[in-house]
Structure 1
Amino acid sequence: MNQDTIKGQWKQLGGKLKAQWGKLTDDDLKVAEGDSQYLSGKLQERYGIARDEAEKQIKQFEKTNNLH
């Protein structure tokens, strides 16, 4: 993720992130604040998926929401 863009839009993206990944908590999103590595780790933890799958899903989210 483009860290500057994401941090600037983080609050607006929170709803979309929770819609995409409902197991993420508000605290997860607050701590992440645009940090894709942290978000990837939380996706792995919450969904029991591999790192490469979590990163793939994040990249798809970025593409879908024009964040690249």
Structure 2
Amino acid sequence: MDWDRIEGNWKSFKGKAKQQWGRLTDDDLDVVEGRREELEGRLQRYYGFEKDRARNEVDQWLKSL
């Protein structure tokens, strides 16, 4: 799956993102609006991930979909 598909259908993927990263609130996910960089930034903020780790987390999540 590619990120363009996620971005275009963000409303249907929000729940899956919430399951993966439970610290993110619905408001956070509304702000993300399918933007990968925004999601990675929120993961850095809430989980304390380094930039590379946040990118890897999103990559792994993308592969699992």
TM-score, structure 1 as length reference: 0.86
Q: Work out the percentage of aligned pairs sharing the same amino acid.
A: 45
Alpha-carbon separation, structure 2, partners of 1:7 and 1:39: 11
Root mean square deviation, CA, Å = 1.1
Where in structure 2 are there 5+ consecutive unaligned residues?
Answer: none
Whole-angstrom CA distance in 2 between matches of 1:38 and 1:13: 15
Amino acid at match of 2:28: D
Question: How much does 1:27 deviate?
Answer: 1.0
- What is residue 52 of structure 2 aligned with on the other side? 52
**1:7 CA displacement:** 2.6
Q: Which has the higher contact order (CA 8 A, sep 6+)?
A: 1
Per-residue CA deviation, residues 28-59 of structure 1 (Å, 9 max, x unaligned), is 11111110101000000000110100000000
Match of 2:11 in 1: 11
Number of equivalent positions: 64
